[in-house]
Amino acid sequence: MRVLVIEDDEEMAQAVAVGLRRAHLAVDVALDGLTGLERAQLNDYDVIVLDRDLPGLHGDEVCGRLVADGCRSRILMLTAAAGVDDLVDGLGIGADDYLPKPFDFPVLLARIGALFRRSQPAVPPVLRGGDLTVDTARRQAWRADRSLDLAPKEFGVLEILLAAQGRTVSAEELLERVWDEAADPFTNAVKITISRLRAKLGDPPVIETVARSGYRI
Residue 123 pLDDT exceeds 60: no
Do residue 110 and residue 145 come from a single domain? no
* pTM recorded for the entire structure: 0.65
What is the arrangement of strands in the sheet containing 74-79, beginning at the earlier edge strand?
A: 26-30, 2-6, 47-51, 74-79, 97-100
Q: Are residues 29 and 68 in the same domain?
A: yes
Q: Are 139 and 164 contained in the same domain?
A: yes
Each residue's pLDDT tens digit, 9-38: 999 999 999 999 888 888 999 999 999 999
Give per-residue pLDDT as tens, 129-149: 889 999 887 788 999 989 999
Q: What is the CATH number of the domain that holds 173?
A: 1.10.10.10
- Tally of domains within the chain: 2
Omega before residue 106 within 30° of 0, cis? no
149 and 90 co-located in one domain? no
- Residue 152 and residue 53 share a domain: no
184 and 96 within one domain: no
**Both 136 and 95 in a single domain?**
no
Residue 171, amino acid: A
Residue 154 near residue 197, CB atoms below 8 Å: yes
Q: What is the CA radius of gyration of the chain?
A: 18
Mean per-residue pLDDT of the chain: 86
Domain residues for the domain of 193 are: 126-216
